[in-house]
């Protein structure tokens, strides 16, 4: 049973926590790279299957063929596989940070109570995140004046995004709580553990977002170089997107686990 205190420190050192997270990843960085490459290879294989079965280009939009049922099912399978592999990757990274447990290669394909628990929480959070769009769809006939003002829409989206950046900070604790077999009421526990540090925890998603902006900008430069006529191939954007997402998952889970360990005041062997 975890031996953790419920009192959060007065101030969580965000940058030191990020440094702790990446330091904790060092023992297993080779295995993490291998896991990411395995995920990438699986998704590329599924993409190639989809491309092979996709209808050829049509001469005009009127005669363009719609995707068949097989292609639609394959796309759903790809999304499901990506979700399941990502859930396992999050848990493996959290256990590496919390327990210095080198992630096994087969861990990507295991499924048990931890995975079901985290998957249910992620789906619940996704449902809550999408609720404004669902409600807005029903209320759109009554929001004509509001939707006609670009400034109002931009302000609403900015406020909504800021709220989820704030939420993403303290929600980062749900992965280490599940990975360490914490008690029931994960969301409530994550909220209580983050008390006094919820705004500081916004530094986690903000730093990851800043890193993604740098990565995307660098990738555009590299892609522009490879897309010249000097080389007979192009870099698929989907491959880079998948790679970037997996790196984001690793960073988010690692920093969240390091923050969780600091806020609970537990040593790695006591988590």
Among the ranges given (64-78, 125-139, 190-204), the one the predictor scored with the smallest mean pLDDT? 64-78
The CA angle 134-137-139, to the nearest 5 degrees, is 110
First to last CA, the chain: 8
The full 3-state SS of 167-199, as one line of letters, equals HHHHHCCHHHHHHCCCCCCHHHHHHHHCCCCCC
- pLDDT classification of 97: cutoffs 50, 70, 90: very high
Do 121 and 187 contact (CB within 8 A), yes or no?
Answer: yes
**pLDDT score, position 30:** 93
Separation of alpha carbons 163 and 132, rounded Å: 12
How many beta carbons lie within 10 A of that of residue 177, not counting itself? 27
pLDDT above 90 for 75: no
Q: Mean per-residue pLDDT for 50-72? A: 59
> What phi-psi label fits residue 185: left (phi over 0), alpha (psi between -120 and 50 degrees) or beta?
left
From 33-37, 81-85, 87-91, 219-223, the region with the lowest mean pLDDT: 219-223
Nearest alpha carbon to residue 115 among 77, 79, 88 = 88
Q: Decide if pLDDT at 58 tops 60.
A: no
Among all chains, which residue has been given the structure tokens 């848990």? Answer: 91
pLDDT at 5 over 70: no
List the single range of 41-50, 74-83, 133-142 with lowest mean pLDDT. 133-142
> Residue 35 is encoded by which pair of tokens?
């896991």
Can you read off the two tokens belonging to residue 97?
């940070």
Place of tokens 């904790």: 24
Mean pLDDT, the chain, as a whole number? 80
Integer Cα distance of 52 and 55 in angstroms: 8
Over residues 139-148, mean pLDDT: 64
What pLDDT does residue 18 have? 92
- Taking residues 120-127, report their average pLDDT: 92
* Alpha carbon distances (Å) from 132 to 49, 145, 162, 166, 203: 35, 18, 14, 17, 25
| pLDDT range class, residue 20, cuts 50, 70, 90 | very high
Arithmetic mean of pLDDT, 188-201 = 92
- Do residues 235 and 223 touch, judged by C-beta distance below 8 A? yes
Model confidence at 71: pLDDT above 80: no
| Number of helices (H), then strands (E), in the chain | 10, 0
pLDDT at 63: 47
Task: Return the percentage of the chain with pLDDT > 90, whole number.
Answer: 39
Q: 194 with 170: CB under 8 angstroms?
A: yes
What is the rounded average pLDDT of the residues 44-55?
70
pLDDT attached to residue 253? 94
CB 252 within 8 A of CB 204: yes
Look at residue 17 and tell me whether its pLDDT is greater than 60: yes
DSSP for 58-82?
PSSGGGPPPPPHHHHHHHHHHHHHH
């Amino acid at each position: 049973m975890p031996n953790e205190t419920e009192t959060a420190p007065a101030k969580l050192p965000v940058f030191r926590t990020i440094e702790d997270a990446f330091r904790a990843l060092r023992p297993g960085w080779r295995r993490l790279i291998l896991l990411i490459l395995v995920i990438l290879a699986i998704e590329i294989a599924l993409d190639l299957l989809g491309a092979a079965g996709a209808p050829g280009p049509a001469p005009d939009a009127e005669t363009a063929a719609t995707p068949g049922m097989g292609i639609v099912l394959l796309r759903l399978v790809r999304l499901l596989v990506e979700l399941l592999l990502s859930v396992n990757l999050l848990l493996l990274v959290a256990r590496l940070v919390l327990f210095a447990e080198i992630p096994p290669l087969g861990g990507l394909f295991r499924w048990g109570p931890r995975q079901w628990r985290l998957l249910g929480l992620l789906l619940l959070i996704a449902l809550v995140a999408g609720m404004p769009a669902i409600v807005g769809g029903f209320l759109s006939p009554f929001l004509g004046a509001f939707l006609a003002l670009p400034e109002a829409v931009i302000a609403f989206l900015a406020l909504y995004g800021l709220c989820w950046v704030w939420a993403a900070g303290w929600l980062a604790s749900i992965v280490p709580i599940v990975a360490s077999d914490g008690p029931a009421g994960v969301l409530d526990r994550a909220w209580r553990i983050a008390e006094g540090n919820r705004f500081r925890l916004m530094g986690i998603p903000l730093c990851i977002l800043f890193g993604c902006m740098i990565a995307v900008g660098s990738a555009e430069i590299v892609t522009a170089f490879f897309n010249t006529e000097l080389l007979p191939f192009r870099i698929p954007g989907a491959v880079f997107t998948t790679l970037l997402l997996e790196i984001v998952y690793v960073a988010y889970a690692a920093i969240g686990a390091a923050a969780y360990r600091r806020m609970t005041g537990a040593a790695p062997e006591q988590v």
